[in-house]
Chains A and B, each alone.
Chain A
């Protein structure tokens, strides 16, 4: 059972480039989310989804897009990368329809924007 799988694990971008961080879960969880972790700031919610076709903004959504076409996948798109988006990104899912309980996290994707 793979759980939550994120790809790539590492990525280096130049300012202005775009890219997509992939997230897939095989637990049939309705809730999926993206967090970013920065030193001294904990984990901050970027976007979340409570089911296929439904997405909403979190605490720090600017510069990011998401879509949820299937239950399993929840990609995060950086439209025009900026150095401020250098961070470690975590995808998380939950069997609840809301993300306020126990979350299952992926291993993270470390992004550096030059």
Chain B
């Protein structure tokens, strides 16, 4: 039972344009959501997070949007840069939970 799903295995965008990565979840108990970025041969690194009491969180070029009624979150990268090319994982957790549940990941390629 995949509680967190990233339906797009890959996404390709041009440098300078917007990248939009999507994530859907099924567990209504999830109250905290995170995005991680992973380069080849490296471990994932934390990028940005959002609590369920918010619908938007912004950090520089990265913005995460949360739509609780649709159980959907998205990561916007504007403007996209070639160095953003990586695998992006979304993750979610429930209150007092001891673990993160990860999606399958989306490979983002930003073309110069």
Contact = CB atoms under 8 A, between A and B. Distances in A.
Contacts of A56: 98
A102 B98 contact: no
Given A41-B104, A100-B93, A101-B93, A48 B42 contact: no
Interface string B75-112: 00000000000000101011011111011110000000
Contact of A98 (B6, B91, B98, B104): B98
A90 interface: yes
B98 A108 contact: no
A58 to B, nearest CB: 6
B60 interface: no
B34 to A, nearest CB: 7
Given A50-B98, A100-B32, A102-B34, A90 B89 contact: no
Interface residues of A, number: 27
Interface residues of B, number: 26
Nearest to B47: A102
A100 B100 contact: yes
Contacts of B91: 43
B15 to A, nearest CB: 27
Interface of A: 4, 33, 35, 40-45, 48, 50, 56, 58-59, 90, 92, 98-108
- Lowest 10 CB-CB distances: which A-B pairs, in order? A105-B43, A100-B93, A42-B102, A43-B102, A100-B97, A42-B104, A102-B46, A98-B98, A105-B44, A107-B43
